[in-house]
């Protein structure tokens, strides 16, 4: 029979005797002899599997087609020789197949259940994080809107102060320009704007005092010829120090050389001197002053310089504050727009990946980054999934 012929061929290929095979494996040589002679057919696959395993171990290749062919030959021989054993074998094989398929189905179902739980937990975590972020962003948005309102109000006040300061400067300049063009004539008659008994210089001092400014007077060479007590009260200069160094003695060291050069050039050309510099004060460090000096010409000859120093620190601070408030307002508006956009995108996100993508886009825009990524940790805390943006 075909089964016996194939079985003998496979055993012969091992190159060992029946006795040696029996000593190496748990089977007596009589049973092996009966299997090989066809007097008995193995009821299970142990004998055939052992022969094929030995051949594979010796380096010979046994294909699945050969294994299946030998198994079918054994079953056919068993059906003829031992019908009852054949039925038992078939039932056992079917049971093994069924158990294997059941276990595979159980493993597959368990794997699907694990994946479902992971996705559910991840979604719950993302939804919880989304709710937390939405609450935080709503709070931040309300805070930014409040800051925008406060900064807008402060900006309006700063602009108002700056406008008033600018109007004050314009009024002072117009007044000084009017006084400059209405000096006493050669016969000594006074200008129309001042009383006949008040000199042009006294009128200038009066107008400067009304505007909270300080007047000083020097010779044509820039040497102090009169005391300026109001100026010394501001700067803390002594009388001798002021008469020696005038108002230039308290100009900030970093600006003194440039200021002296400009003042010297104005005296040489008999031009109106206009300058801005920092001045050391008695009580509050350095403050910003605007210096304006006019040459006084009588009978065609320069007789003195009359100057007015104006503290413009508040005006400068108001302008700086206006710039800062404008920048803060712009930044707060931008942050609010970003939060509104992020909230809208989160409301449309349905999956973990979409929420992560929103976080990536918002973070990259806020940080002005070229690339960004989010790492998601699975429920077992065993692996990270990287989402690049």
Distance of CA 183 to the CA centre of its chain: 65
Domain at 187-311: CATH architecture: 2-Layer Sandwich (3.30)
From start to end of the chain, where are the E strands? 214-218, 273-280, 286-298, 301-311, 373-377, 384-388
* Confidence label for 265 from pLDDT (cuts 50, 70 and 90): very high
- Domain range list for the chain: 2-81, 187-311
* Confidence label for 212 from pLDDT (cuts 50, 70 and 90): low
In contact, 201 and 296? CB cutoff 8 Å: yes
Q: Write down the pLDDT at residue 202.
A: 53
Q: How far is 214 from 234, CA to CA, in rounded Å?
A: 9
Q: pLDDT for 115-141, tens place per residue?
A: 888 888 888 888 888 888 888 888 888
Q: Write down the pLDDT at residue 296.
A: 93
Range picked from 65-79, 178-192, 355-369 for highest mean pLDDT: 65-79
Q: How far is 82 from 84, CA to CA, in rounded Å?
A: 6
Q: Write down the pLDDT at residue 191.
A: 37
* Confidence label for 273 from pLDDT (cuts 50, 70 and 90): very high
């Amino acid at each position: 029979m075909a089964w016996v012929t194939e079985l003998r061929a496979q055993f012969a290929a091992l190159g060992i005797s029946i006795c040696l095979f029996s000593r190496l494996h748990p089977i007596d040589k009589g049973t092996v002899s009966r299997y090989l002679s066809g007097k008995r057919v193995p009821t299970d696959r142990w004998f055939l599997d052992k022969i094929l395993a030995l051949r594979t171990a010796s380096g010979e290749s046994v294909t699945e087609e050969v294994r299946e062919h030998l198994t079918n030959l054994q079953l056919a021989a068993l059906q003829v020789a031992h019908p009852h054993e054949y039925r038992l074998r078939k039932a056992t094989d079917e049971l093994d197949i069924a158990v294997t398929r059941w276990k595979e189905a159980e493993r597959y179902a368990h794997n699907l259940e694990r994946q479902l739980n992971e996705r559910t937990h991840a979604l719950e975590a993302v939804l919880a994080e989304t709710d937390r972020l939405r609450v935080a962003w709503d709070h931040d948005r309300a805070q930014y809107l409040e800051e925008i309102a406060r900064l807008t109000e402060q900006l309006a006040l700063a602009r108002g102060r700056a406008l008033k300061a600018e109007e004050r400067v314009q009024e002072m300049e117009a007044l000084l320009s009017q006084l400059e063009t209405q000096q006493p004539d050669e016969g000594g008659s006074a200008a129309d704007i001042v009383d006949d008994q008040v000199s042009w210089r006294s009128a200038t001092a009066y107008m400067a005092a009304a505007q909270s400014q300080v007047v000083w007077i020097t010779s044509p060479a820039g040497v102090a010829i009169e005391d300026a007590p109001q100026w010394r009260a501001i700067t803390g200069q002594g009388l001798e120090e002021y008469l020696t160094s005038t108002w230039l003695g308290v100009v900030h060291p970093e600006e003194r050389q440039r200021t002296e050069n400009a003042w010297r050039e104005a005296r040489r050309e008999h031009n109106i001197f206009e300058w801005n510099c920092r001045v050391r004060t008695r009580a509050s460090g350095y403050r910003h002053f605007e210096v304006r000096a006019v040459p006084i010409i009588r009978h065609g000859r320069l007789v003195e310089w009359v100057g007015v120093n104006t503290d413009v620190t508040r005006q400068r601070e108001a302008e700086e504050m206006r710039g800062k408030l404008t920048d803060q307002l712009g930044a707060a508006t931008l942050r609010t727009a970003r939060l509104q956009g992020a909230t809208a995108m989160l409301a449309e996100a349905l999956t973990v990946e979409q929420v992560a993508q929103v976080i990536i886009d918002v973070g990259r825009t806020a940080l002005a980054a070229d690339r960004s990524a989010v790492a998601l940790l699975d429920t077992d805390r065993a692996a990270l999934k990287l989402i690049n943006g």
